[in-house]
Amino acid sequence: MNGTVTVIDKGAVRVHSYMAPDDSLNVTTQLIETPARVVAVDAQYALAYADEVVAYAKGLGKPLDRLIITHAHPDHFHGAARFGTPVHALPAVREQIVAQGDAQDPTGVVIPVADITPTVDITPGTEVIDGVPFVFEAVSGGEAADELVIKLPEQGVLVAQDLVYHATHLFLGNNDIAGWQQAVDTLAADQSYDTILAGHGLPAGPQVYPELRRYLADARALLDDDGEAYKKAILERYPAYGGPFLIDIGNQYLFGAQNA
């Protein structure tokens, strides 16, 4: 296996957190194993890594109940069709995926948008899945325009996805650092969750919040109108962080290809 799987035992629930290698931005898929089924969260960027996740999920010996897409960034939905299960998302996220049209895998394989469009709308609130309460919350602004946060209050598990990065560089292309800081403060204020599942990087605990706040504050201070200067400065400040290509992708959104 090319990716890294971290298994967290929470009694009635086991979390299998799959992190792609650095060449695929350390993006994560969460497999939430309940007593009788598996709920997948986010679908990988590269189809090969989506296939790894699906093979691992099948090895758990339980049916894949659904795939939830948390937000409309390609690294989280490109592999959706590989899961062979209904795809759920917030209506705003579904509309944003449709607006992007057909996609392309890093190998050049075309991914028709019709194959990856969510078909089941998520309504914020609590849904009990296989006896386990899942709390769905919609967040606007921050890393993405619209994002879904999933809470498992009985297990103390927060599926934050791209509102939390763990020891990886941040994608700032949405140009909303202030909104992201506010979202992190809101998540950190709820101390009920001891397991934080990040959208990029390995699972973490609440200690990830001050780390993320520090990076966001540094990014806000360093980011001006020169993408290359920002990249050099942030890499010097966080030399051990993974996913440096995320800086380049963000710079393309902020400044255009010439500053990526």
User: How does pLDDT run across 221-236, given as a tens digit for each residue?
Assistant: 999 989 999 999 999 9
Instruction: Check pLDDT > 50 for residue 209.
Output: yes
* Cα 211 versus chain centre, distance: 18
pLDDT of residue 257: 59
Instruction: Check pLDDT > 70 for residue 258.
Output: no
Average predicted confidence (pLDDT) for the chain: 96
User: How does pLDDT run across 104-144, given as a tens digit for each residue?
Assistant: 999 999 999 999 999 999 999 999 999 999 999 999 999 99
Query: Can you tell me the distance from the alpha carbon of 31 to that of 129, in angstroms, rounded to the nearest whole number?
Result: 14
* Cα 12 versus chain centre, distance: 24
Query: Can you tell me the distance from the alpha carbon of 204 to that of 241, in angstroms, rounded to the nearest whole number?
Result: 15
H or E element that contains 48: helix 47-58
Domain segments of the chain as ranges: 4-259
pLDDT of residue 221: 96
Give me Rg for the CA atoms of the chain.
17
- 4-259 sits in which CATH class? alpha beta
pLDDT confidence band for 256 (50 / 70 / 90) = confident
pLDDT of residue 97: 98
Closest by alpha carbon to 150, among 165, 166, 139?
139
Instruction: Check pLDDT > 60 for residue 1.
Output: yes
pLDDT confidence band for 260 (50 / 70 / 90) = very low
Backbone angles phi, psi at 127, to 5 degrees: -125, 130
**Which residue(s) pair with 148 in the sheet?**
138
> Three-state SS for 82?
helix
Mean pLDDT within 17-25: 95
